[in-house]
Structure formats: structure tokens, C-alpha cells
Amino acid sequence: MSSTNTHISARKATRRDLLRGAVAAVTAPYVVPASVLGAPGKTAPSDRIALGCIGTGGRGTALLRSFLTLKDARVAAVCDVFSDRRARAAKLAGKGCYATGDFRKILARKDVDAVVIAPQDHWHAPIAVAAAKAGKAIYCEKPLGVSVAESQAIRNAVRRYRCVFQTGTQQRSNRDFRFACELARSGYLGKVHTVVVGAPGPGYQPKYRGPTGPQPVPAGLDYDMFLGPAAKKPYNPGRHAWPDWYLIWDYCAGFIVNWGVHHLDIACWGCPDLATKPFELTCKGSYRNKGLTDNLSDWQGQFVYPGGLKMTFSDSGHPNAQGCKFVGDKGWVHVNRRGIRAEPAPLLKVALRPEDVHLHESKHHQGDFLKAVRTGGKVASPVESGHAASQLGLLGEIACRVKRKLTWDPKTETFTGDKQANGLLSRPMRPPWTL
């Protein structure tokens, strides 16, 4: 339904009708009348946004717990390929929660309004694209897939089906990150000429220390569903131990993408040209070759844009400090999860003027998503920002593989004149899985 024919009588509307109208009216917010909610200050259980949580490992469970603290949501269904994980998640969600090992059963349920996608990275794109087709609102953990083509597929599906979509780049719901970007975009640093990004690298040993050869699949695990679109490999517990799977190419493009996406996202938020202008890219790094792990151990990248703009990107301390630093001809500001610094120091006391850039304000990333589902309004981390940040990390990883300078054309989203590099923009998917 288009935004021109989603006006529903508040007297006759069901909770599902209202939410469908909000999702369809992304560009024309639909405000739910207070009369359809519960008592003043409370939301009736039947009018809460019903969530399906797909992937209930460490991050997925943390998200589930966060959503459960919000009065506007309830968890109606959970999914995980590990039976013990989904049983724990269902218990947390409470009486009546549906549990399954197949995400498609959640997408088929009419009583689920929105899904929370938090399995391993190689599953993000197939599930998100299917969720968009199913008409669900989507909260999807970062990055948006393990290849540029997967990230593009999510973006394109969200646009086509007009879904409310929040990327799990939760730093946008932190005041320090938002304020640093507002300073950069409002001219308080002068002309920004350099952006310095540092992200954690895998500076530790794998958690799993046992034999790396084939082992029996344990009871309670649907291993074929765990693999999904990834290459079929013999079972070994090191394939799903955390953080080991971050270090395995089959399931993740590595820390340069999985963790790098957080600070690359802030870089783009404070300096949008990084995501929209052409650039030359060089990136050097070394790859692991120990046990099952084969992703990047370290990296040093440089993105050079027309007009003198430059971004450097490395793993923390190699040489860039963790976080994002905007450097202009009048000052700089650096922000990470520990806080915000600036030079000159009075920049931190700036009171933004009405004419300055005021970015989307969110104080709770999951709550911000629910508000958008309810009203059809904007989110802090839309699919376009999730795609841009994921793509920059993925392109850096490709440059490490080919070991030469590359030129990126943002209009075509391809490398100029480099067949090998362009061939790495997508990955094969194991049948029957497709996008």
C-alpha cells in the first residue's frame, strides 16, 4: 500500500493495521492515536510492537534484553540454530513466546511486526532481504553482509518494500558521537581535510583451543542451517565460538568490517563526502593462518578524495587511536566510547545555533527503532548509512587482498578498470540460498 491510501479509522484499526500503515508511510509519518493504546502512560499488551528475534547468541540476547525494557515492545518469537540458546531466549521473553530454528517460520507469522537480526554476519543479507519482502520492520546488526553485493541487496530491498530499517550502529544514539559530527558539519573545525579512524583488530588468540579437524555435530545444533549460504565445511566448535567466527572468512569479513563499521559510520556521519565522492584507495594488511582462522590481523588504509580530503583507517594503535577524529584547518575533535576531546578545548562547550547542522537525536537505539515503527518516522541509522559504512570496510579488505591502488566510482559502485577487484564485490552463496 502506498502512503496515499493507508489512512485507517482509529475506531476500527487493529494493532497490526496501524503498524502496517506506519511501515508503509515511511515518508509520511502516521501517528497512532492515544485512544488505541492502554491506560494513560501505559501501552496495552495487545498494542505493543511484536518482535521476532533471529539469532540469540551474545549480541542477540543483549538486544532482546534491551527491547524487553521498553514498554512499547514484546518479544513474540525467537529463532536460533542452537536449541539451548533459543530455549533460554524464549524463557527470557516470557510466556507464549514461539521458538524455532528456522527464521522463515518467524517471517511467515502474521503476529510478528518487526524482526531483530543478529546471527553471524554471513546470514544478515539473506534474512534481511527476506524480511523486507515479508513486510517486516527490521533492526539488523552490522555489517550489512559479508560482501558489497550483499549490502547493496539489503539497501535495495528496504527501498523497494519501504521498510522501517535500523542498522545496529548504536554509537549514533550517543550524544558525544552526534555532537562531534555536528561540530564537523557545522564548520566549527573549519574545512575538514582529514578524518582519522581506528578500530579494534583481533589482537588475541582464538577462544577455541582444541583440535581443528572434523568433529561430530553436537545434539541440539542444526549445523546445516548454521552454515546456510556459507561453504559447506566439516563441523568444528571453533567455527561458532566467539570471537573466533570474526576471524573466519566464511562467516565474517573480519574486524576491518565487523568492528570497523562502527567508527567508519561516524566518519561518514560527520563527513558525508566520504560515502558519496570518488576516491583512490590503498590498504595493506597481514592475514591470519592459524587453525580455522584466516581473516586480517591488521590493516592500514588510506582513502584519498578530490579537493584534498583524506581518510586514514587502521586497526587501533597501528597507528590510529581507536575512534574517529575530524581534523579541520581551525581545530579537531576526536570521539570514541570513552569520551570526546577537542582542540581548541572550548569547542566542547559550543552551543549549536539554530542554523547549524542538527543531526537526528536518539538516546536509545532500540527505542528509536520502535518509535519509527510506530510513527513511520526517521531512524538514527538508516539503511543508507549502514550500507555506506559496511561498504567502506569491505572495500578496504578488497584492497588488502589485491595489494594495489584502487579507484572507486560511487555512482556505479564499482572499481574503475579492475576486473579482479570488481570480482571480489560479491561472494558465491551455497544453494539453495540466494538474495
Of 248, 61, 74, 60, give the one whose Cα is nearest residue 140. Answer: 60
Cα separation, 313 vs 410, whole angstroms? 19
| pTM exceeds 0.85 for this model | yes
More confident call, 44 vs 74: 74
Q: In the chain, pLDDT over 90 holds for what percent of residues? A: 86
Residue range 144-157: average pLDDT? 98
When pLDDT is cut at 50, 70 and 90, the band that residue 208 belongs to is confident
Residue the block writes with cell 493495521 = 17
Least confident of 47-51, 73-77, 208-212, 345-349: 208-212
Q: Which three cell numbers stand for residue 264?
A: 567508519
Q: For domain 174-359+383-435, give the fold.
A: Dihydrodipicolinate Reductase; domain 2 (3.30.360)
The domains of the chain are located at 15-171, 174-359+383-435
Mean pLDDT (the chain, rounded)? 91
Q: Which three cell numbers stand for residue 325?
A: 577524529
Of 72, 68, 22, 15, give the one whose Cα is nearest residue 46. Answer: 15
User: From the CB of residue 223, how many other CB atoms can be counted at a distance below 10 Å?
Assistant: 15
pLDDT of residue 207: 82
Residue the block writes with cell 574517529 = 324
Pick the CATH number of 15-171 from 3.40.190.10, 2.40.160.210, 3.40.50.720, 3.90.45.10: 3.40.50.720
**Alpha-carbon distance values, 206 to 83, 199, 244, 275 (Å):** 24, 19, 5, 33
Q: Which amino acid is at 347?
A: L
Coil, strand or helix: which one is 303?
Answer: strand
Helices marked H in 288-382 — which ranges? 365-375
